[in-house]
Amino acid sequence: VSFPWQKREISNFDYLMYLNTLAGRSYNDYMQYPVFPWVLADYQSETLNLTNPHTFRDLSKPMGAQTVERKRKFIQRYNEVEKNLSAQCHYCTHYSSAIIVASYLVRMEPFTQTFCSLQGGSFDVADRMFHSVKSTWESASRDNMSDVRELIPEFFYLPEFLTNANHFELGCMQDGTVLGDVQLPPWADGDPHKFIFLHRQALESDYVSAHLHHWIDLIFGHKQHGSAAVEAVNTYHPYFYGDKTDLNNIKDPLIKSTILGFISNFGQIPKQV
């Protein structure tokens, strides 16, 4: 079977947008914003080699299973069901949420105000702000057990979100770095337009076209929940599965508001397509 995007009948970008729309994701809803995959794993080379498979992220695995060690820890968490967790799952955080979207786009209005309102009226601690593509990849794929975030469509077409054109005072990191424009990988030569151009080329590359269906299975397809999700190390807290949590049957208003707050803060699994 060859898929429409593999035959170049439709771009990978357009196909992903189509799936997001089918699954109820929309630019109008920060809680269900379109979700796109990390496609690259190389944020340190001087030049980007799109013919080398090692340049790319493993699209058959969720962000929590990108390294052997990290995958082992999440499987361990699932098997242990820690006392303070109300349900068995690999991840208690989500790959797409209002705060993730607003943090990526924080240098542009109206997302600046959205981010601040979600943070209680001010910017976050500088070290936790989105400031570097490389360090964000390292956090989400390797270093931070509470970070499994994916990307948003803007990473593939909108250079403006990478620059602090409005000169917001985003703070200063512990190492003395003043936050301004987003730090780009060496292969982008400090140019947001070049970053977007190469990143979009990566999305449309032969490698991604050949492997994209694996990621689609994880996010929109049969590996989204159930035994296939457990096997793929791809289960999230039950509250993230909006269609599986019937709020109408929950009589306790406190529990209901807790679940709604959880979903609005931490994100929601797309509808299965």
Q: pLDDT digit string (tens) for 100-141?
A: 999 999 999 999 999 999 888 888 888 889 999 999 999 999
For residues 198-227, average pLDDT: 96
CATH number at residue 44: 1.10.1540.10
Query: Is this structure's pTM higher than 0.75?
Result: yes
Q: Which residue has the higher pLDDT, 89 or 251?
A: 89
In a domain, 41, yes or no: yes
In a domain, 271, yes or no: no
Q: Check pLDDT > 70 for residue 246.
A: no
Per the structure, the complete domain to which residue 67 belongs is given by 3-266
In a domain, 45, yes or no: yes
CB under 8 A, 24+ apart: contacts of 67-73: 67/141, 67/142, 70/141, 70/142, 70/145, 71/233, 73/145
Provide the pLDDT for residue 2: 63
In a domain, 252, yes or no: yes
What gap in Å lies between CA 132 and CA 272, rounded to an integer? 32
What gap in Å lies between CA 178 and CA 197, rounded to an integer? 27
In a domain, 156, yes or no: yes
In a domain, 11, yes or no: yes
**How many domains does the structure of the chain reveal?**
1
Query: pLDDT tier at 264 (50, 70, 90 boundaries)?
Result: low
In a domain, 108, yes or no: yes
120 Cβ contact partners less than 8 Å away, ≥ 6 residues apart? none
Q: Check pLDDT > 70 for residue 84.
A: no
In a domain, 272, yes or no: no
31 Cβ contact partners less than 8 Å away, ≥ 6 residues apart? 97, 98, 263, 264, 267, 268
- The rounded percent of the chain whose pLDDT value lies above 90 is 72
Give the bridge partners for 97, in sequence order: none
Place of tokens 């170049």: 8
